[in-house]
Every structure is written in structure tokens, then in C-alpha cells.
A and B are shown apart, each in its own frame.
Chain A
């Protein structure tokens, strides 16, 4: 087709054969074009999954805007080509390209990956492979981009450490500028890749894995992990935004042509969480909680409506109900959205009089459900995981919802939590039954819209680094399946079984997620083996190949017993001890002991638990407590 302004990397023939060609053409509203002759540094920012998934990610959107606000930098986007295009690119030898310029990734200065979930690791290898960049950092030359990783997974970067030149530990708003300055300086002086990496290790939050030597004991645990040069830090502390009100926010996000998973304006109301749930990694690594000024958020909302044309807005944070200016912000948004005929998509709020009132204003109660995340069925187990939700909270909330006209309730649970007993599992269906019973007791027959619809879903628990459960053993796949079966059977034997339904997630990926989450550097060849046998897009259930993973683990003598099924001992050096997330190991161990004693720890606003995050000197740590 003629008359093209930007030359596309893919031919018309290819674009007409593949599914959803608009994933690969760039040129979306608010995507940034620059003159490559006028920039000093080109950054290819990759979310290693499908375009629709990657385009939904807030972190990239913020950093894309921030990096492009620098005159000397051009940041472009890269996503994993889906399998149809992947196959064509291999046959036709088309190198992977960035969306904006449509130029090969290999010609960039940096290739950055955001690592949001462990199951994307094979896609990282796909992107390197299609770009023509060596898998292992040690094999790269001066012609290859610097490969850098960030996001929650880099709090244990060790399983993928050999594939990366650098990791960025912490929040991207803080240290990219000094890193870029250093890079440009090194380039000007003609310094080598190695020299740059060495100097980069001096920057806050930058971890250079090749500069550390790991020594293992005979039992496979770590004896020591030390920097090989004196000027390289022992541990790398995460860097965070201290003045969250004035942190950069991208009010001109790229608006995709096709429908992304999150296809709406997103306002980040706060970062961090006060709750300290013991299974939750995000709750620890984003500490301390920092709120954003509601006036600022209103201004962002207004600008973003004008800049995007979206018909929907949503709020983002780990626990939006804890945002102290929520009523004020929602009042404003509801009014603004009504005037503009926009929708508000509410995050899962804690169910109480306030949230039900808000939900009623913006949703059709007959269609939507109220959601609870008790995470565990019994109070005992909820104490173990420090989930402060009580049976009274749930039943009161549900009763209010039923009186308000709702009849659908969704509940989220985990199976395989540390110390879980049969009674804890049975408590899940029993709780569901109690809620169904409450509906029939609360709502007279004449006022019911059909029966109660109580839906429970369970996922399998994976212990994560930087949580109290980092020492905990993980359940076996057989146990998981047994536990799901027990939940199902108990569900069916409830009095109100007809009002209950139950779903559970696959167990296979959970095991691998467990290994990748707490693995060490010995795991890298396993990931490469799986990839080289043709497996990627592991986060997609239909693409996931369990046998390939089990075979590769066996080939490289990586035992599940060692990595996930054993309880780790107190003094054990963890692969991720190189990283300092701001929460101390002593605090986490105290929390592990509290879990074993079923003791609850108050949240950050009630009482400081002395986790160590106060060293950042911001957020809730320096605010007055209630």
C-alpha cells in the first residue's frame, strides 16, 4: 500500500497474514517520534509479553514519558511478537524492531525489560533471540545494547542474572538520569562496555551481576556472594521516590488502536501498602506507603481525559481503600465522569457502607458482584498470613451488599499456605455457605433477584523473596490437587451448594513460579533449555509445557526438594540477599515466627513494626500515626 509516512519493519504481505497486525505498527496516539540524529541515547523498553498485556502496564507508561522528556534520549517500546509472527521472523530472518522507529533493537544503546512475573523469563530469551543479542551477558560485545532489567521480579534477579548486564532495583523515576549521564560520558570517552558496567555499579539501585562471585556449599546453599572489586557495593539498596507528590507522571500515555487489557486512564493514588500480609511480596518491596495529593490527581485526571479520549478511568494502588483522600477523589471523579459520560472502573475496595454507596453510583448492582479477598477460610489461617479481615467484616459487608440489592459475591482464597490443615481448607466452603445463608436470611423472597451467586476461587500459594514466608516450604503439586479436590467436595456438600461455585488455578505453573521466584544462578541454563526447546509464552496456560520444565530441571540437577519443598533455615544466605529492599531480614524472620504462633502484626498506620523502611525517611514512616 502506498503513501506511507513511516516505513514499517514488516511487509504488507506479512501484516496481512498475521493476527492483529496493529500490534506491530506503532504510530499510536501519544507515541513519541524523535529525530534519531538528534538524540544521544536510544532505549528500547520491553514488556516481554503480548502487546495487549504490555500496553496495560502503568510502570512502562510512566518511564516511557519520563525518558522521552529527556531531550537526549529516545525511548521506544518493544513487545513479544505472538507465535504467528515469531515463526515468520525466524524464517525470513527479520530482526526484532522497536515500534516507534521500526528499527532493529540490536542497534539501540539499551534494551530494558520490565519483569512483572516469573513466567515471562522465556519471553525475555525470545526477545534477545529475535533481536540477535547473545543470551548470556558475558557473550555480548560492544555492538550489543546494554540489557537491563527492572520490576518486582528483580528483587530476586539471580535465576536470570547471567542474561542481564544490569538490574535496576527500585522505582524507575529515580536513577535512570544518572545512569544515562554515565553512559553518555563513557561513550564520549570511548570507554568499553566492561568499564561502563563497573562504574554503573556505583549508582544507587544499580546491580551489576557479573561483578559478584557466588560460592556454594556442598548442600547447594550459598556460602558467600561477594563483589569481585572493592569499589562494588556488598549489597544494592533499592531506590525509591521520596517526594511522591512531585514525582513524574505521564499524563499523555500511549493510546493503543486495539483494545488492551487495561484500556483506560489510570491514576496511581499511592505507592506501597500498610497491611503487611505475610504472603505478599508487593506489600514489602514497595514500602513505605506514599500517598499522592488529591488535587494533583484531579489535575492529572483532567489532563488525561483531554489527552487520550478514553471513556473510562480507574484508580491504581495495592489497596485503594487505604488511600486517605478516597472519598474526596471519588466524589470529584464521579461528578466529572457523569458530565463527560465516562465510566469509572472501581478497583476492589474493602466492602463497607462507603464503598457500597460508591459502587451503587457507578455500577448496575444486578450485574456486578461484590468482592472479598479473605485469602484463607479460617480465622486461624488469616492470623497466620496477617490478613486483618475478620468473619464479622465479611458477613457485615455481605449483609449490607444484600440489603443494597446485590446477590453476587466473589471470594478469593489461597491453598497451600504454610501450616494449613484440613479444617482450614474446609473453612473455605463453609464460609461461602454462610454467606449464601445470610442472603436468604436477609433478603425476603419477594425482593430477591434470583438466588445468591457465591463464587470462590483459589490459587496456589507461592512463597516469595522478601516476605515472611521466604523460609517456608511450598506444597507439592499432588497436595495442591488434593486440596482443590477437598475444597470442591466440601463445597458440594454444603446446604446451599446450589448457590456456590468454585474455580481453581492450574498447579503446574505454580511449581515453576516457585522455583524461579526463589532460585539461584544455577537456574539460568534451565530457562535457556526450556526456551531452546521451543517453549515461551509460559504465562499463557495453553502455551505452557510442564514436561519441558521438569525435563530441563532434571537435566541440570535442579531439585524441587532443594528449591521449594524444604523449609529454609534461619541463617541461610538467600540468593537475593545481595538486594536490600529496605525491609530487614530480622524483621521478616520475626514475622515468620509470628506466623507460626498465629500472631497478628498491626498495620503501619496503627503501629510501626520496625521493618527498616523508615530508613527511606518518607511516607507513613514519617507521618503522624492515628
Chain B
């Protein structure tokens, strides 16, 4: 029985200029080089079954993105080939497999991306993309003088925060206030944002920045960087990181 694994990765430096599709192709090639026994689609041109949690835009760095892969087998150091049957794997074996996958992939990875952790996804769990409920970000603008604790507090005290979002039938106005779980000045002087993500309401850091500037009647300020810090799923009503570590 194939097992699904969730891989957490980072992307920093020049590699952030790669588009999402190219990032997927990059990971597929890494899986080939690592010779992992990944599951393929059927047909004349089979492709690896790999699902990314959240598309990474060109220019965005991340410390906490995820993708899922299905492995048909994995050979552990003792030479034993696993996943041949339905029996549940012991915890010790699972952690050996997970650290093995991480080691195999990191050995063939380019500078700028690294697999940070690997976990086994429970059988009935949602796939990576469907699991995404929130994400957190580190955001830095060219000029931070107008981002003060007071101004942020006033912005968040508005009864509603309307933002124009791209809907299926063109732009629609959406209230994002309930989706902003945290928006604050971080210790490093950057902005910290913890927001609702996924299919129901997908808030991007740029949504907050633009509505903030509008609320305070400020001129446009260029965003210098957006770094995704973590991606979250929901477990028993609580938000937890996407992995199952």
C-alpha cells in the first residue's frame, strides 16, 4: 500500500525567482535523482503524483512550504523494503523512513532549497492543498516609519476591512477582517502577519499592506520582501503547522 508523506521545505536567495511550475519541476527532478519510488499517473506519459500545498509566487522566499508525495516502497538501512502490505508501521520505523527521505533528497538538492522535515500523512487526511487554513509571513517595506504599533492597532479596530479580490466573475469586495489572526510589528522591526488562507478566504500580505496604506491615507510604499514563515492546517479546531511531525 503506497504511503503519503508531507515534506516541508524552504526556499531562500536567488532561487526565489523561479515560478511555481518550475519549482514543481525542480522537485520532481530531485525526486528522480534521489531515486525515490514515487507513484506515477497512468498512460503514455506518466507523471509523478506530487501535490503542493500553496503556490509560491515569483520572488517569494519561504521557510515553511509543503508538498505531498506517495511512495510505493522505501528501503531502510537494514535492506528491508517497506510498504508491501497494509499493516501499520511502527513509530520507530516511520521516523527512520522520514529522516531517510529527507536525507536522500537533501543530498541531491541545490543551494537555496532544503527539505526541513518529513512526516507520514494519516490515511484519511486531506491532501496538502486542501489542508491549508492559514499562513504566516514576515513582510518588509522600503519605508517602515509609518508602521507603528498605534497605527496598526487603529487599522485593526475598523469594523470591517474591505479588499478587492479576484473572484470567478471578476473583482469582488471582501471583508478580510475576521481572517487577520495577527498583524504586528515583529522584534526584527518587520511586519508579522498571520492570516486565513485556502479556498474560502485567501488573504495575501499585499491585501493587508494596501488596505493599511489606504486607511492611513499614505502614498504607496514598495514591498521589499515577503517571506512565508509557516503554513497551517486545522486540527480539532486549532491551527497547527501543516506537517504531522
The chain A residues found within 8 Å of chain B, CB to CB, are: 1-6, 8, 12-13, 15-16, 20-22, 25-29, 255, 257-259, 305-311, 340-341, 343, 362-364, 367
Contact = CB atoms under 8 A, between A and B. Distances in A.
Given A15-B17, A16-B58, A363-B44, A5 B32 contact: no
A22 B17 contact: yes
Contacts of B29: 29, 255, 308-311
Interface stretch (B20-28, B154-162, B211-219): B20-28
B111 to A, nearest CB: 6
A311 B48 CA distance: 10
Nearest to A343: B45
14 contacts: A6-B14, A16-B59, A21-B59, A27-B110, A27-B111, A255-B29, A257-B15, A257-B22, A259-B25, A305-B32, A307-B33, A308-B33, A310-B32, A340-B32
Nearest to A263: B25
Contacts of B222: 13
Interface string B41-85: 000111110000000001101000000000000000000000000
Contacts of B28: 309, 311
B225 interface: yes
B189 interface: no
Nearest to A4: B13
B59 A27 contact: no
A363 B43 CA distance: 10
Contacts of B33: 306-309
A6 B13 CA distance: 8
A308 B18 CA distance: 18
Contacts of A309: 28-33, 108
A5 B14 CA distance: 8
Chain A interface SS verdict (over half):
loop
Contacts of B58: 16, 21
B22 A341 contact: no
A5 B11 CA distance: 12
B16 interface: yes
B48 to A, nearest CB: 8
A4 B25 contact: no
Contact of A311 (B32, B35, B59): B32
Contacts of A306: 33, 35
A2 B225 contact: yes
Nearest to A309: B29
Nearest to B44: A364
Given A21-B58, A257-B18, A258-B18, A12 B224 contact: yes
B163 interface: no
B46 A27 contact: no
Given A5-B13, A12-B224, 11 more contacts: A1-B225, A5-B112, A15-B59, A21-B17, A27-B15, A307-B33, A309-B31, A309-B33, A310-B29, A310-B32, A367-B44
Given A15-B59, A257-B26, A3 B13 contact: yes
Contacts of A307: 33
Contacts of B225: 1-2, 12
Contact of B16 (A1, A13, A26, A259): A1
A28 B17 CA distance: 12
Contacts of A16: 58-59
B192 to A, nearest CB: 16
A425 to B, nearest CB: 38
Report whether over half of chain B's contact residues are helix, strand or loop; otherwise say mixed: mixed
Contacts of B181: none
A27 B112 contact: yes
A305 B111 CA distance: 20
Nearest to A364: B44
Contacts of B108: 309
Nearest to A258: B22
Interface of B: 12-19, 22, 25-26, 28-33, 35, 40, 44-48, 58-59, 61, 108, 110-112, 222, 224-225, 227
Contacts of A340: 32
B110 to A, nearest CB: 5
B159 to A, nearest CB: 35
A25 B17 contact: yes
Given A27-B111, A308-B29, A309-B32, A341 B17 contact: no
A580 to B, nearest CB: 44
A255 B35 CA distance: 17
Contacts of B14: 4-6, 8, 25-27
A332 B28 CA distance: 24
Which 3 pairs of residues, A with B, have the shortest CB-CB distance? A309-B29, A309-B32, A309-B33
B26 to A, nearest CB: 6
Contact of A341 (B12, B40, B112): B40
Nearest to B16: A1
B107 to A, nearest CB: 12
A21 B33 CA distance: 25
Nearest to B138: A2
Nearest to A13: B222
A22 B18 contact: yes
Contacts of A363: 44
B42 to A, nearest CB: 11
A109 B100 CA distance: 45
A21 B57 CA distance: 12
B24 to A, nearest CB: 11
Contacts of A1: 12-13, 16, 59, 61, 224-225, 227
B15 A259 contact: no
A28 B113 CA distance: 12
Contact of A258 (B19, B32, B40, B59): B19
A334 B35 CA distance: 18
Contacts of B48: 341
Most chain B CB neighbours (cut-off 10 Å) among A13, A26, A29: A29
Nearest to B38: A341
A112 to B, nearest CB: 25
Contacts of A257: 15, 18, 22, 25-26
Contacts of A5: 13-14, 111-112
A29 B110 contact: yes
Contacts of A12: 59, 224-225
A28 B112 CA distance: 11
Residue in A309, A363, A364 whose Cβ sees the most chain B Cβ within 10 Å: A309
A367 B43 CA distance: 13
Nearest to B223: A16
A309 B16 CA distance: 21
A25 B225 CA distance: 18
Nearest to B110: A29
Contacts of A3: 12-13, 61
Nearest to B33: A309
B17, B18, B29, B40 pick with most chain A CB within 10 angstroms = B17
A556 to B, nearest CB: 42
A258 B21 CA distance: 9
A4 to B, nearest CB: 4
Nearest to B30: A309
